[in-house]
Amino acid sequence: MVFFKKYRRKKVSQQHFSSEWESIISRNVPYYNRLQDDDRQELKGHILVFLDEKRFEGMEGLKITDEMRVTIAAQACMLLLHRDTDYYPKLDTILVYPHRYVALVTRRMPDGTVREVLEHRLGESWSGGQMVLSWDDVKRGAADIRDGHNVVFHEFAHQLDAESGSTRGDPVLPQRSMYGAWARVLGNEYGKLIDDLEHHRRVCINSYAATSPAEFFAVVTEVFFEQPARLKSCYPDLYEQMRLFYRQDPLSNHGRYS
């Protein structure tokens, strides 16, 4: 079964990648233009497999187009470069809203009570094989590759996190020997972020990262790819852990365009 899956994926990854799709990626995902030629080729193979295996559904009457599928897939597969991957095995379907959508969530209030409140969302990763994305925010996050915000990177980081069986900011690492340093560095930096926020000290990443270890990992992933110099300057040990996990060094491509 595993052999057949690998064989099939290899065949799919070697199929023709249309020039129209490449134009979509180059236009909508400018991060692609930073990559070396061999990384672009690897990415296109991953995209073909991803699109072969994942289903897209439009919400609120949205008609799914190749532009949507390819734009989302390209960003999702950026996180897979140079890594052994099972292509987000816990994900089956991506639900795409045209704009930010409203979700009913449970929140603990300052007085200790728990209430259900409505929140506007740009994306979320669900259990049960589904992810939700706002197409407007997908485009916006991809277009500005220096703002440190990318909803696709964020939500697919949650998917990588979930592959370990939980979503606690502890994804499956390439080597067993990496777990000690990972837990120490991310634990220390997460705790320091919370302390800095509580004492109103300046921080280098979005305060949403302090919500939970899972959100910390997802937010740091966004910053790692989009603001690598900033992350390395503020959190050099954290940058190194992300570099080892993703097997990429965005600083080597930062500012490079074809």
pLDDT at site 102? 75
Say how many Å lie between the first and final Cα of the chain, rounded. Answer: 41
Q: How many other β-carbons are positioned within 10 Å of the β-carbon of residue 198?
A: 9
- Asked whether 163 and 189 are in contact (CB, 8 A), the reply is no
Round the CA-based radius of gyration of the chain to a whole number and report it. Answer: 18
pLDDT at 148 over 70: yes
| Fold type of domain 2-252 | Collagenase (Catalytic Domain) (3.40.390)
Residues in the chain: 258
pLDDT digits (tens, 9 = 90+) for 86-112: 999 999 999 999 998 877 666 665 666
What does the pLDDT average to over 145-173? 93
User: How does strand 114-121 pair with strand 101-108?
Assistant: antiparallel
Going by pLDDT thresholds of 50, 70 and 90, the confidence category of residue 2 is: confident
Q: Token pair of 122, please?
A: 């740009």
Percent of the chain with pLDDT over 70: 93
Question: Which residues, 6 or more positions from 8, have their beta carbon under 8 angstroms from its beta carbon?
Answer: none
**Domain locations in the chain as residue ranges:** 2-252
Element (H or E) spanning 94, and its range?
strand 93-97
pLDDT at site 115? 72
pTM for the whole thing? 0.92
